[in-house]
Structure 1
Amino acid sequence: MHTINTGDADEVASVVALAARLRVLLPLPLADAYDYRAPVGAVVPVGAFVVVPLGRRQSIGVVWDGDPNPGLSEKRLRSVEQVLDAPPMTATLRRFVDWVAAYTLSPPGAVLRMAMSAPSALEAPAPRAGWRRAPHPPDGARITPPRRRVLDLLADDTPRAGGQIAEAASVAPAILRGMADAGLIEPALMPRQAAFTRPDPDHPGPSLGPEQATAADALRAAVSRRAFSTTLLTGVTGSGKTEVYFEAVAQALREGRQALVLLPEIALSAQWLDRFRGRFGVAPALWHSELTPRTRRETWRAVAEGEAPVLVGARSALFLPFPDLGLIVVDEEHETAFKQEEGVVYHARDMAVVRARLSSAACVLASATPSLESTTNAATGRYASVHLPARHGGAEMPDVALIDLRRTPPERGHFLSPPLVEAVTQTLARGEQAMLFLNRRGYAPMTLCRACGHRLRCPNCTAWLVEHRAARRLQCHHCGHVEAPPEACPNCGAPHSTVPIGPGVERVLEEATALWPEARRLVMASDTIPGPAAAAAAAQAIQNREVDLIIGTQIVAKGWHFPHLTLVGVVDADLGLAGGDLRASERTFQLLHQVAGRAGREEHRGRVLLQSFAPEHPVMQALVSGDLDAFMEAEANDRRPGHWPPFGRLAALIVSSEDERAAERTARDLGLAAPGGEGVEVLGPAPAPLAILRGRHRRRLLLKTRRDIAVQPLLQDWLAKVTVPGNVRVQVDVDPVGFL
């Protein structure tokens, strides 16, 4: 990442004088704040949330840092209409918004929108009414046994909600109404309760082994320093990294500071939450896209008021208003799910490091297969490093072996080779669980006509339609387009001529059903595990041994602990190596190593079989040897001479338009205006691999520089030279991780 000055960390908010001008940043794709007149007689701090007029409507914004425009006429100023009763946005979060905007070349208002993701939380919560004992009940009021139970419950004079009273005293709501009419109880405002119970840092949790204890000591010390640091926490799968960084969370709680844990797939966090409850006695606050509006509002407000001591969330949780953030953990830091590709394009792992620096907090990046970027930062001393070399509790790493599909191919029309079929059969016969992994959803990745060869393609994207046979649909996994399977070829009209090509997990399920009809099977893919409840149910069923055979896509690699799973078979280990992606080898190794790590996590040693047409490939050999360090060193040696990340910098320009000629012309103009000089290279323009996406024609240009050259000034100068038509969009992606 390019280093941008973060400014002073002083959290003391400046105060705007009476009737002064205010700079108000609005959560809109605007390049700068607007000037407004402060309300007469009001003192408005920088960071306050305010309601302001914008055109003919109202908008909520934040009083921002900096000096108003002295050249703006007083007559053109409009007044702030309301100051909202919400904790002001901290100086740290405001600097973070500005930093992210500058680094990603995004409008500050677009970044602010991510920090205002629950607008309803800006209004003070309405007080809740309940009942309490009347201080002077009338003489002679009839006291029945149910009424006595209510009065005894309210003897401490603490107001309680009607439903709570009725349930605790075992009375009907009509009893309460009668007591109110009789003057025995009266309405009262209930005291505001904390939205979340504080986790107990000293709650007895699982015992740590010697290596875990040493690692935990290092992380606790980093948190106790109350200063910025980044530690890369690595270790083999099953080594107890989660339990180790839980000790850093506990230390943040002891320090009276908040902790944030980022997970790549928060919807699949059921087992992680169970482990958290086991360590701290309560659940943490959650932040993800499936929260109800009410929970979202309450959680945002609790974070802002310091009443959510620990929050676990998706990448967007980085923009929540923590008043005193002491720790950020990025679990599975290598995951590409931390990269946001739409709107403001940023990588949550890198931005977590920035937010920790601005907050004088400790940052922990955890992974069994860390990214080359983080590995390099640790090797050069920018990050501290802690490693757990062995599985916890004496469990051994699985044996990994290759199946050469050139020598032992599957039967015609099938996808499981004889050695893999035999291994699954033996595993199931022993009463153990097996997993078949294929990182493809649906039944088949492509459908074609056997009469004319026509391939069914998405009308909006340059992508094949994926067959989902169970749901009887063809679907584009890029734009979501869905259509029914055709009765006849849309090109030649031949009836019933379309056939599936290649396997998806549904097709593997079909083959497994024929091979092992008695086995209890479960498919784990985003289609079948859509959210937290489904993930929890699946994990529980596997743990309860209600499942014999798991068939899954990449979501089965996300940190699951299945104690009875002893065999993992990878149906197509070569799948991720196709194409010209810079990180194809690294990603394939990471994914398959993580999948392999699901096997043999307790007393029975695991076994992993990789089906491959290229067993001699360095990735396959590294998986067999288990030598992550040697593999990463080889990757570094491949990238270093060409100044590819992390030894150089990349930034992509993605030009798109519904008008193909407009996209082509703008891309050509950008190519002609491209920057040059020593250590600077521009590749393209060229059609993107997904040349059409959601109906938009796409062209890509890639800026590559040496590590010591900042890309942001180059990009700003470059974009300033070209006039972009209104029907063309140019998206900037600094530090791209994908090239579609």
Structure 2
Amino acid sequence: MSEVILQVALPSPLRRLFDYRAPRGIASEGLRPGVRVRVPFGRRQLVGFVAAITDQSTIPRDKLKAASEVLDIEPILPDTLWQLCRWTANYYQHSLGDTLSCALPTLLRQGEPALARQQLLWQLLPGAYPEHPAISRAPRQKQAVQILGQHPHGLSHALLGQWGLQRDTLDTLEKKGLVQQIRQSPHHSNEPLPLLREAPLTANAEQQAALDAIIASKGFTCWLLEGVTGSGKTEVYLQAIEHCLRHGKQALVLIPEIGLTPQTLERFRQRFSVPVVILHSGLNDRERMDAWLAARNGEVGIVIGTRSAVFTPLANPGLVIIDEEHDLSYKQQDGLRYNARDLAVYRARLDNCGIILGSATPALESLHNADTGRYQHLRLQQRAGDAQPPQMHCLDIRSRPLQGGLSQPMLQAIGEHLGKGNQVLVFLNRRGFAPTLMCHDCGWIAECSRCDARMTVHQSPTYLQCHHCDSQRPLDRHCPKCNSEDLRPVGAGTERSEEHLKQCFPHTPVVRIDRDSTSRKQAMQQLLKQVHAGGPCLLVGTQMLAKGHHFPNVTLVAILDADGGLFSADFRGPERMAQLITQVAGRAGRADKPGQVLIQTHMADHPLLLDLTEQGYAAIAHSELAARRSANLPPFSFMALLRAESTAPEQVNSFLEQASVSAENLQASQQLSVELLGPVPSPMERRAGRYRAQLLLQANQRAPLHNLLHQLLPLLEQAPQGRKVRWSLDIDPLDMF
């Protein structure tokens, strides 16, 4: 047989494999697709995956470099996850090597051994006892032997230290042959534990019907669990997971944001005694790898994570849950632009297990899949316990003065609810003190020098910040246009509303929760702890408060500005507005106290707001699906967005024009039916100092669109214009900006 050649997938944007000779001294029998290898690449050493093994190459053998070393004996990813990565790279038209790299924790990408940390335990050896002659005159050693004798499975050094025992004492006992050190996974339990720490709640009729359907199904099934806020979707998750665990399987639970991780983890650990791990970007590299390996090795029963956790390997996959499945956070917006919700569905199919997509406001794509029979639709239409849906009303603020973004009727309603000992949530999806700094004399507005955007005024500390490129500068003292000193912050952000509420209600704690107030570690947990103490308080926050949180004492939700979503340039604007308002409104009246929702608006008679307040999210979803069908928009068509950016706008236009011409030529030769829209400037044409434009490709079927893209992308990679710009392709884009 000829010399073995490895086809290696490398973490590179190039959508191809690279050929290498096998390392010297490595037999072909020891090589398998899926193992990691370290290879020379230019002047660097990269870690890649063996994608295939062959004896043929288009490159002369004397020109082929040899791989430096093989890092694994067995493939590091299970077969189904390997298939998922290959499918992901193909569907999203992305490099396989880069896709596989995204599926690994950082340390494994860097070539670290796939070995988790183990805890070191001290354990008594047979024949050791407190009155042993070797320690008759050593009271500290005698004490150590006595304590270890009470814990036959061993104790960590940290626990022994609680008795004042030092390492020297244990080392001496080890030399005397009385104790030994053992290594053990931190998730290992020496004693059999009951599955549940607390009994499940009694399911109501709707919850039980949903559970019966989930438990009765075998193999792959996708359920869309549509439940109004407070209907007990989490209890359905927990009892479905219990059934999964009792059959020796593992559960993967995806949540949209890191901020929801602590409370989700606490809820699951209160219910189950099995090991639970979390995976998100807030962990350090070692913690993330340990959790990833524990899941792969079957040492944990439940894995909770954000978007990237969809790639976590499971030894015995049994159930996947996507909470708040409509959330935009599941869509990666740079690099590999995957949608974790959609990947999770495909993964569940590969693993032949069930998947639950849960939401009070399902995405229209998911509702369409339920309507067409691809998903099974489960509904929870009543709140758990005796809780009633909150009453929603629009508060017309035309001609009314606003202070801190609040009208007088809104302040009056807040005062009434606080006076009854309740809590109030004030929602404003705009952080900072004010969205604009304006000169009162000439109308000059503080704008970002790098973006087509206005600078936001922040007060604590005082500075101007662009929320698109994060550039900052000191607050202007003089107008650069007319030199006036009369510069005024215009509009209200969460900081300004917080300040005004403190003035109006000086004896009530005001808790602001936004990206600024929760940037420090554990800050979110500390703020929520203050809220959950139960006393009267005011919560002021952005969409971080809109989902997943349970505030039993909140009886009023005050939405300060609902008009932005009514006039969005994105066709998904109405859907997102309805989802956000419904989710925020769902924080009110979740216990035995009735809830109220007041929506400040200048458009109180707008049909979307009327439908939402009178008929709920389902009415909006139904009308929007009908409108999208008429306009041939997703989910009734399929899109891809080719974006380009550069410091020179003419380079962007040249590249996209060439892409459009190439796509039209391919269509003509292949007789493909794909509509090209553009190129046009992006809605925000300049961002972070770079000019941006885009070309939209749309088709009635997926196959023609992907066929065209598969042929187009190699042409773009080789085009001279492509080397002068940054460009990316977004399959199934959710953000048209």
Tell me the TM-score normalized by structure 2: 0.91
The whole-number CA distance in structure 1 between the counterparts of 2:715 and 2:41 is 31
Give 1:521 deviation, angstroms: 0.6
What are the within-5 Å matches in structure 2 for residues 202-601 of structure 1? Answer: 202-203=196-197, 204-222=199-217, 225=218, 227-281=219-273, 284-406=276-398, 409-411=400-402, 413-494=403-484, 496-530=485-519, 533-546=522-535, 548-601=537-590
Moved more, 203-212 or 338-347: 203-212
The question of 1:152 aligning with 2:146 is answered: yes
How far apart are residue 54 of structure 1 and its match?
2.9
Provide the C-alpha distance between the structure 2 equivalents of 1:125 and 1:457, rounded to a whole number of angstroms: 50
- CA distance in structure 2 between the partners assigned to 1:711 and 1:57 by the alignment: 37
Residue 691 in structure 1 maps to residue 685 in structure 2: yes
Q: Structure 2, unaligned stretches of length 5 or more?
A: none
Deviates more, 1:251-260 or 1:697-706: 251-260
Q: CA deviation at 1:405?
A: 1.4
1:166 is the counterpart of 2:161: yes
Q: What residue is the counterpart of 2:725 in the other structure?
A: 728
Mean Cα deviation higher: 132-141 or 683-692: 132-141
Contact 2:646 2:725 in 1 (8 A): yes
Instruction: Report the residue type matching 2:146 in the other structure.
Output: D
Q: 2:714 and 2:123 mapped to 1: Cα distance?
A: 67
**Equivalent of residue 99 in structure 2, options 111, 128, 142:** 111
Aligned to 1:35: 19
Q: Distance in 2 between matches of 1:210 and 1:620?
A: 32
Between 1:505-514 and 1:554-563, the stretch displaced more is 505-514
Distance 1:221 1:328, change over 3 A: same
Moved more, 432-441 or 190-199: 190-199
Task: Point out the more displaced range, 138-147 or 331-340.
Answer: 138-147
CA contact (8 A) 1:199 1:283 kept: no
Task: Give the letter aligned to residue 558 of structure 2.
Answer: G
Task: Kindly provide the amino acid, as one letter, of the partner of residue 41 in structure 2.
Answer: L
Counterpart mapping for 1:189-208 below 5 A: 189-194=182-187, 201-203=195-197, 204-208=199-203
Going from structure 1 to structure 2, the CA distance change for 1:261 and 1:51 (only over 3 Å counts) comes to same
- Please report the TM-score for the alignment, with normalisation by the length of structure 1: 0.91
Does the Cα contact within 8 Å between 2:254 and 2:322 map onto a contact in 1?
yes
Match for residue 10 of structure 2? 26
Q: Secondary structure at the match of 1:190?
A: strand
What's the counterpart of residue 89 of structure 1?
A: 77
More divergent stretch after superposition (610-619 vs 428-437): 610-619
The unaligned stretches of length 5 or more in structure 1 are: 1-16
| Whole-Å separation in 1 of the counterparts to 2:53 and 2:194 | 41
Q: Which amino acid aligns with 1:551?
A: V
SS at match of 1:645: coil
Deviations 1:409-456 (A, max 9, x none): 235x55322221111111111111111111101011111222332221
Q: Partners of 1:311 and 1:571 in 2: how far apart? A: 37
* CA distance 1:133–1:258, change in 2 (3 Å): closer
Relative to structure 1, the CA distance from residue 680 to residue 392 in structure 2 (aligned partners, 3 Å threshold; closer, same or farther) is same
Change in Cα spacing, 1:423 to 1:37, as seen in structure 2 (3 Å) is: same
Which stretch shifts more, 560-569 or 249-258?
Answer: 249-258
Quote how far apart the aligned CAs of 1:500 are: 1.2
8 A Cα contact 1:260 1:311, kept in partner? yes
Match for 2:183: what amino acid? Answer: M
Report if aligned partners of 1:261, 1:329 keep a CA contact under 8 Å in 2.
Answer: yes
Instruction: Judge conservation of contact 1:691–1:698 (CA < 8 Å) in 2.
Output: yes
The 10-residue stretch of structure 1 (30-39 or 104-113) with the greater mean CA deviation from structure 2: 30-39
Aligned-partner SS, 2:87: helix
Aligned residues: 716
| Counterpart selection for 2:645 from 642, 653, 656 | 656
| 3-state SS in 1 of match to 2:557 | strand
The corresponding residue for 1:122 is: 113
- 1:186 deviates by 5.4
* CA distance, structure 2, for counterparts of residue 616 and residue 699 of structure 1: 36
CA contact (8 A) 1:232 1:364 kept: yes
Please state how far the C-alpha of 1:134 moved relative to its aligned partner: 6.4
Distance, in Å, in 2 between the alignment partners of 1:292 and 1:173 is 28
For 1:12, the equivalent position in structure 2 comes to none
Q: CA deviation at 1:573?
A: 1.2
Shift of 1:114: 0.5
Q: CA deviation at 1:147?
A: 2.2
For 1:1-12, list aligned pairs within 5 A: none
User: Hey, what does 1:614 align to over in structure 2?
Assistant: 603
Partner of 2:49: 62
**1:190 alignment partner AA:** R
Whole-angstrom distance in 1 between the partners of 2:59 and 2:68? 16
Partner of 1:8: none
- Which amino acid is 1:644 matched to? L
Once the 2 structures are TM-superposed, how far is the Cα of residue 304 of structure 1 from its aligned partner? 2.1
After TM superposition, the structure 1 stretch with the greater mean CA deviation from structure 2, 128-137 or 684-693, is 128-137
Alignment partners' CA distance in 1, 2:328 and 2:557: 23
Q: Which moved more, 1:563-572 or 1:506-515?
A: 506-515
In structure 2, the CA distance between the partners of 1:694 and 1:310, relative to structure 1 (3 Å rule), is: same
SS at match of 1:326: strand
CA 1:257–1:73: 2 relative to 1, 3 Å: farther
Report the alpha carbon displacement of residue 173 of structure 1 after superposing the two structures with TM.
Answer: 3.8
SS at match of 2:160: helix
Counterpart amino acid of residue 711 in structure 1: L
Alpha carbons of structure 1 residues 199 and 319: separation in structure 2 relative to 1, 3 Å: farther
What is the alpha-carbon distance in structure 2 between the residues aligned to residue 161 and residue 734 of structure 1?
A: 50
SS of the residue 1:640 aligns to: helix
State the 1:201 CA deviation: 4.6
Corresponding residue SS for 2:630: coil
1:576, CA displacement in angstroms? 2.2
Alpha carbons of structure 1 residues 484 and 199: separation in structure 2 relative to 1, 3 Å: farther
Q: Distance in 1 between matches of 2:38 and 2:188?
A: 26
- CA spacing shift, 1:673–1:86, aligned 2, 3 Å: closer
8 Å Cα contact 2:638/2:732 also seen in 1: yes
Q: Secondary structure at the match of 1:568?
A: strand
Q: Give, in angstroms, the shift of residue 98 of structure 1.
A: 1.4
Inter-CA distance 673–29: structure 2 relative to 1 (3 Å threshold) = closer
**Contact preservation (8 Å) 2:418, 2:536:** no
Answer whether contact 1:658 1:727 (CA < 8 A) is retained: no
Give how far 1:104 is off: 1.1
Distance 2:279 2:621 in 1: 33
How far apart are 1:136 and its partner, in Å? 7.9
8 A Cα contact 1:576 1:585, kept in partner: yes
2:655 is equivalent to residue 666 of structure 1: yes
What RMSD in Å do the two structures reach over aligned CA positions?
Answer: 2.7
Q: Relative to 1, partners in 2 of residues 1:158 and 1:252: Cα closer, same or farther, differing over 3 Å?
A: closer
Please give the alpha-carbon distance, in whole angstroms, between the structure 2 residues aligned to 1:435 and 1:97: 42
